[in-house]
Amino acid sequence: MERLRNIVILTGAGVSAESGIDTFRSAGGLWEQHRVEDVATPEGFARDPDLVLGFYDMRRAAVQQAEPNEAHHALARLDAAWDGDILLVTQNIDDLHERAGVADVLHMHGEHLNAWCTACGTRSRWTGPLITRPPCPACGESALRPDVVWFGEMPYQMERIYAALADCDLFVSIGTSGAVYPAAGFVREAKANGALTLELNLEPSQGSHWFDETRLGPASELVPDWVSEMLGE
Ligand code: BJW
């Protein structure tokens, strides 16, 4: 591991599954309970805002009851001890990486605990419901939506992510199905730039063949083992 210095880690719903947070595409996952077009597109929100706000209110409440698991804690341990740069990019909108102790988490698909005012553009920390149409703390308009990235919208901080992918020695993907772009393309980007690529997942992702190595199993076991390896423990 000596020549490895800069690491980009991408996490998906699988890293939070063992904290009791539903994934999207697994059996019984969120997309079996709701049509993605209805709850995760701007068009669905325009058609039926109550449905979408209720969907996110329910999930925002659940996230606040959940606790980080061994995978989140192991990544925080690596983040604190690693000499080189680590960029932790998550597609998850929960705050479990932060609560495990990672200071700088890049939430490319937004955050449950933020509300975004469509009237004035202000983002405010938000823990309660939005379906009641509360006023924006900044402008007073009742125009808040979840601060999340739906299909057809631009994920956040793409420039920072691509800069880190251009400069990393190792790209690690944890618990994501590889079904959603641009995140699903990060492995190819990192590989094209010369990085080693590793996947940790319960099942092979859609882009599994792009990885130099795939390890299969639950994140709560694979991630702590991998972190111990990286730290020479
Ligand atoms: C475990 C485990 C355990 C379980 N241990 N593992 C055709 C081709 C290419 C792209 C497109 C296309 N047509 C349209 C597009 C673009 C579109 C897209 O990708 N569509 C696909 C359906 C094809 N993408 C977009 O629109 C994005 N924007 C965009 O592209 O803008 C233009 C642009 C271009 C170029 C550069 C930059 C921008 C926006 C995508 C927004 C996605 N939003 C959501 C909702 C966010 C809010 C919310 O949470 O509600 O993000 S959808 C949902 O999917 C959510 C997730 O972050 C995302 C990924 O899901 P994830 O994390 O992979 O979860 P699952 O459930 O799919 O998988 C779980 C995995 O965990 C599985 O692999 C399990 O095995 C594993 N697992 N238990 C370890 N215990």
Rounded to the nearest whole angstrom, what is the distance from the C-alpha of residue 85 to the centroid of ligand 1? 25
C-alpha separations of 208 from 173, 184, 191, 193 in Å: 10, 10, 13, 18
Rounded to the nearest whole angstrom, what is the distance from the C-alpha of residue 33 to the centroid of ligand 1? 17
Where the chain has pLDDT below 50, the residues are: none
What pLDDT score was predicted for residue 194? 96
Output the average pLDDT for the chain: 97
What pLDDT score was predicted for residue 27? 83
What does the pLDDT look like over 133-149, one tens digit per residue? 999 999 999 999 999 99
Indicate if ligand 1 lies below 6 Å from the C-beta of 26: yes
Indicate if ligand 1 lies below 6 Å from the C-beta of 51: no
What does the pLDDT look like over 7-58, one tens digit per residue? 999 999 999 999 999 999 988 899 989 999 999 999 999 999 999 999 999 9
SS (H, E, C) the chain: CCCCCCEEEEECCHHHHCCCCCCCCCCCCHHHHCCHHHHCCHHHHHHCHHHHHHHHHHHHHHHHHCCCCHHHHHHHHHHHHCCCCEEEEECCCCCHHHHHCCCCEEECCEEEEEEEECCCCCEEECCCCCCCCCCCCCCCCCCEEEEECCCCCCCCCHHHHHHHHHCCCEEEEECCCCCCCCHHHHHHHHHHCCCEEEEEECCCCCCHHHCCEEEECCHHHHHHHHHHHHCCC
Whether pTM > 0.95 for this model: the answer is: yes
What pLDDT score was predicted for residue 26? 86
What pLDDT score was predicted for residue 97? 98
What pLDDT score was predicted for residue 228? 98
